Amino acid sequence: MINHFLIDTISKVAFSRNKFGDYVYISDSDINCRFREINDLTQTNNREEFNCDAMVWFSADETVNLGDLFIYEGVGYKVDQMVKARRGGSTKVEYIKCGLLRHRQVS
């Protein structure tokens, strides 16, 4: 549905944690997306409330989970909120919308 709007590329980070609880970089993979940086958005409509630093949209077939880490243009983000968008009465996911919070750089 929105694949032709996915003109940006974001890196999904695979990580582990060290003995201090810090995220340690293992690898990354590039994913097509639509990225929008927002400074402190609070949006309440359609029974959704987003408090985030950035928003990103993915195609429905991407695997995204809460807590995933991404890097966009050298800035780290963590998925804080996620909505799988469906048309009314349908169970098919059309796209995935995520609210991102800035996250310290993964070392």
Domain boundaries, the chain: 3-103
pLDDT, one tens digit per residue, over 5-47 is 889 999 998 888 888 888 787 888 999 999 998 865 565 666 6
Q: Tell me the pLDDT tens digit for each residue of 59-102.
A: 999 999 999 999 999 888 999 999 998 888 888 899 999 999 98
Tokens of 42: 């609070």
Rg (CA), the chain: 14
Class in CATH terms, 3-103: mainly beta
Residue 39, pLDDT score: 67
Q: Which residues contact 71 (CB under 8 A, 6 or more apart)?
A: 10, 11, 13, 28, 77, 106
